[in-house]
Amino acid sequence: MKTHRMKSTVMAAFVVAVTIAFAVAQEAPRVPEAALKSAQQAFQLALGTTQKTQTFEAMGLRSEVESRQAVLGTPIALQEIGYDKLVAYQPGNAPQSVFAGPDQVLFPVMVGKSARSLITMARSGEGWRMTSYGDPDRAAAIEAAKAALQKEKAVGSSQAPSFSVVSVPAFQFDLVAATQGPKTYLSALSPAAAAEFGLSALSEFPEVVSKLSAYAKTFDAKYGEQIRQKQLAK
């Protein structure tokens, strides 16, 4: 999995005025034209870099021909769950309280109907900046998780679900969320990783938060002090 970080002078150019927030029972946030234009600029910059260097695989592309066919797909909101928030979480608290970090949006790079990589943009102050491009494995896994959720009866009514990505950086664990009506269901990008947290293939959002919190508390009791001591020693 390859991700490419952009220099601050480049990232500052990608500014949009849009609020992206994940919440249970919330429709997918609307991305205004300014955001789409900014992401398109980021896409062209990343694509130009791969074409100049002939490193098409960095964007999940197989050839220069595919680089000319590539377009941006439908954006999807990304929200991170904080480790400290999970440790502090108590039953009865609002599940959304575990979210932390900047608002982010993922733009898939598409060739036909196939998601080949991702353009990631994050809120920075009053604007937005491109933070990375690449991640072909993650792009494919997100599409697979979305397809799995759509096949489930739980999100299979005539009303189309709103999708978002939920990430737990501390555990390198990502899920795709489908919000439909009053409920949000999540499917992990890695079923094997989900099993380690006691999660099934399809779980509701409060259950995901509860089990991740229990895991984080156990983990912190064993290793938290060692981690904090190492951080203080730096």
pLDDT top residue among 26 and 111:
111
**Mean pLDDT lowest for which of 36-50, 83-97, 109-123, 162-176?**
36-50
Q: How confident is the model at residue 11 (pLDDT cuts 50, 70, 90)?
A: very low
Q: How confident is the model at residue 112 (pLDDT cuts 50, 70, 90)?
A: very high
Percent of the chain clearing pLDDT 70 (strictly above): 80
* DSSP state letters, 61-104: --SHHHHHH-EE---EEEEEEPHHHHHH--TTS-GGGGEEEEEE
- Give pTM, 2 decimals: 0.81
**Residue 228, pLDDT above cutoff 80:** no
**Domain extent for 77:** 3-233
The domain total for the chain is: 1
- Residue 34 pLDDT: 63
Residue 85: closest CA among 218, 179, 186, 213: 213
